[in-house]
Structure 1
Amino acid sequence: MDRDKTYQFLEQVTAWAAGATTIGLLALADRTGLLRAMADGVSGTTADIADTTGLDARYVTEILGGLHAAAIVEWDPTTGSFSLSPEHAAVIGDDASPYAMTGWLDMIPSAFEHTDAIAEAVRTGGGVDFDAFGPKMVRGIDRANRPSHTILLARRWLTHLPDITERLASGGVVADIGCGSGAAVEALARAFPAASVVGVDRSVASIERAVAGSSMPNVRYVVGTTSDLPAYGPFDLVTMLDVVHDLVDPVGSLTTVRRSLTDGGAVFVLEPSMPEDMADRVGPHASLVYGISVFHCLTQSLAAGGAGLGAAGGESAIRSVAEQAGFTSVEVLPIDNPFSSFYRLS
């Protein structure tokens, strides 16, 4: 045995453990309002910060110590003051920021609560149903997706479908499948006020959250699946944002979507980016995609007896299910994004 190799791996596992506990500390700081307060400019000694936020000083001391150790918050040795830089606040302290990663502070703890149940599924088959993950997962998915859906979907991403946006400027019908809490639906409705936008999701909790937060008159939310689409179409555009890999029956669902399009209509698909070659599937991004796939995407599909496509399928998986569903064109759109790939199906 190569002891040096063992020690190197031991250090790597220690780093992973530190990362996991740091996510835990960030989740605590998020849920207690500590991150939001520091993002808004609250700083000082731990006693000062505890007094301002109304939190327990002893916990604040330990949490900020851990966040300083992880180089998340800054500490001034001359004053003992802790602060959060604007650059870091944009990532962990502001849900509206285009750089926000705050949704993961809900999703990862929520997913890990089901480790035992998923382990049993690994042994015997099946999985954990989406609804079993509860409101924290619904909230986390919304927080993770809302900034990009609000800021980028209509203003940047859909500019790569100019024929479709030209249609929608004067009317038409759009469906967002797997709409979650409605961020994309609301963004589409604002961008195309002459069009009608339908949000469809099988999660009652997600649709309730979407309805509660809706502010646009040209939207409608439906608890349902792709099988319900024909009642509301035909559609000039269907968006499926981080959805295809979650579907119980991706080929059947995409077939229904295709049949629900108007002549010349299109489907806009967003999926996690993954290299086709396993040799290139290394590093933090690939690890994160595989991890959330096992702990959420894959298991909730298998729980329903589904295909279990998983989040790590990459372009070949999307192309395969789209072609089986009868789409004759699967175009990879030239949208620069480090995390996601984009497709036009027609």
Structure 2
Amino acid sequence: MGWYRALADGGPATPAELVARAGGAERYAREWLEQQASFGILTVEDGRFTLPAGAAEVLTDERSLSYLAPLARMFGAAAIQLPGLLEAYRTGGGVGWAAYGTDMRESQADMNRPWFSTMLPDALAGVADLHAMLGRPGARIADIGCGGGWSTIALAKAYPLARLEGVDIDAPSVELARRNAAEAGVADRVTFHHGDAAGLEAGGYDAGFAFECVHDMPRPVEVLAAIRRAVAPGAPVVIMDEAVQDAFQAPGDEVERLMYGFSLLICLPDGMAHQPSAGTGTVMRPATLKGYAQDAGFADLEILPIEDFGFWRFYRLTH
């Protein structure tokens, strides 16, 4: 509805003032404002409701690392699919990414955007040899499973001498990535393709990245093998995925609990929708990824010294 943003941009409002700014029905606006105030998200004085600065950052600042508003769209998109999820749990089938629709696709991109835009350049700059390679004039970099393109765009901005290619199997995500790249002013150095890693030019890339997507893939070994073929001999292959524990333990920590929640509703059903499937799920532990990498022909993996990067861990696959 844009009501949070109307309060953040325009200041305190009565229900009538809020709908005058952002539209909607006044009776529903009053109920919503009172509910939000009852939770302590909004404050109220003399009948006018205020969105405090801290809450405004979490709910409206698209560039803040604290931005969490997209989670509402994400869980809403999953809730719509509950009948399909129930059937998948009964039969062993799945619910594919395309079925979750625009809310899921855009919320995923919006959640990751501030981390890629704000943190990724410095994170990679802290790995000296990787940073040097990416900064070489004419370096050709592939971003597999690019989604809305924010990881590709961040790499392009951090390494202006490189050329970036993003690839994703979800056609609407590719179109979203193209629009985002154009708006970010990097479309002259970034291209996006609808397809999978098997379509990448053999030996044509100086580096390959896969950001938060390997755990979703029904056939991760095949994809990793395709990435290995696509990069030059010895070229870096970097996987960013969830920073879960090395082994299952109960009770789990907060990251573990959150990731199992995503897995139950989204990631595992997505992976299971395309058979045969590895059925990885969001909680992909380091040993699992290492097994996939070795089966794909890589020698080993190492955890890169990148810390405090949200819920994620960076791996480099060696070959």
Asked if the contact 2:6–2:22 (Cα under 8 Å) also holds between the matched residues in 1, the reply is: yes
Aligned residue for 2:174?
A: 207
Aligned residue for 2:286?
A: 315
1:70 counterpart = 2:33: no
Aligned residue for 1:342?
A: 314
Which region of structure 1 is more displaced relative to structure 2, 236-245 or 50-59? 50-59
Alpha-carbon distance change, 66 to 282 in structure 1, aligned in 2, over 3 angstroms: farther
State the distance in 2 between where 1:251 and 1:230 align: 18
Superposed displacement of residue 81, structure 1: 2.5
1:163 counterpart = 2:135: no
The aligned runs of 1:1-346 (5 Å cut-off) are 32-76=1-45, 79-153=46-120, 155-169=121-135, 170-215=137-182, 216=186, 217-230=188-201, 233-279=203-249, 281-282=251-252, 284-305=254-275, 306-337=277-308, 338-346=310-318
State the distance in 2 between where 1:165 and 1:262 align: 17
Percentage of matched positions with identical amino acids: 32
Alpha-carbon distance change, 58 to 285 in structure 1, aligned in 2, over 3 angstroms: farther
Asked if the contact 1:246–1:311 (Cα under 8 Å) also holds between the matched residues in 2, the reply is: yes
SS, match of residue 167 in structure 1: helix
Q: Which runs of 5+ in 2 are unaligned?
A: none
Alpha-carbon distance change, 39 to 283 in structure 1, aligned in 2, over 3 angstroms: farther
SS, match of residue 201 in structure 2: helix
User: Deviations for 1:269-325, whole angstroms, at most 9, x for unmatched residues?
Assistant: 111121234335535432321121121111111111121111012222222212222
Q: Which runs of 5+ in 1 are unaligned?
A: 1-31
Aligned residue for 1:4?
A: none
- Matched AA of 1:285: V
Asked if the contact 2:127–2:304 (Cα under 8 Å) also holds between the matched residues in 1, the reply is: no
Asked if the contact 1:127–1:299 (Cα under 8 Å) also holds between the matched residues in 2, the reply is: yes
Asked if the contact 2:204–2:232 (Cα under 8 Å) also holds between the matched residues in 1, the reply is: yes
Alpha-carbon distance change, 149 to 336 in structure 1, aligned in 2, over 3 angstroms: same
State the distance in 1 between where 2:27 and 2:266 align: 34
SS, match of residue 101 in structure 1: coil
Superposed displacement of residue 247, structure 1: 1.0
Asked if the contact 1:249–1:307 (Cα under 8 Å) also holds between the matched residues in 2, the reply is: yes
Alpha-carbon distance change, 276 to 166 in structure 1, aligned in 2, over 3 angstroms: closer
State the distance in 1 between where 2:60 and 2:180 align: 21
SS, match of residue 75 in structure 1: strand
State the distance in 2 between where 1:247 and 1:319 align: 15
Which region of structure 1 is more displaced relative to structure 2, 126-135 or 47-56? 47-56
User: Deviations for 1:65-95, whole angstroms, at most 9, x for unmatched residues?
Assistant: 222232222223xx23211122111111122
SS, match of residue 236 in structure 2: strand
State the distance in 1 between where 2:313 and 2:134 align: 23
Asked if the contact 1:164–1:265 (Cα under 8 Å) also holds between the matched residues in 2, the reply is: no
Alpha-carbon distance change, 213 to 313 in structure 1, aligned in 2, over 3 angstroms: closer
Asked if the contact 2:127–2:305 (Cα under 8 Å) also holds between the matched residues in 1, the reply is: no
State the distance in 1 between where 2:61 and 2:249 align: 36
Asked if the contact 1:150–1:184 (Cα under 8 Å) also holds between the matched residues in 2, the reply is: yes
- Matched AA of 1:339: F
State the distance in 2 between where 1:342 and 1:281 align: 25
Output the aligned Cα RMSD.
1.8
The count of aligned residue pairs is 311
Superposed displacement of residue 171, structure 1: 2.2
Q: TM-score by structure 2 length?
A: 0.91
State the distance in 1 between where 2:207 and 2:55 align: 36
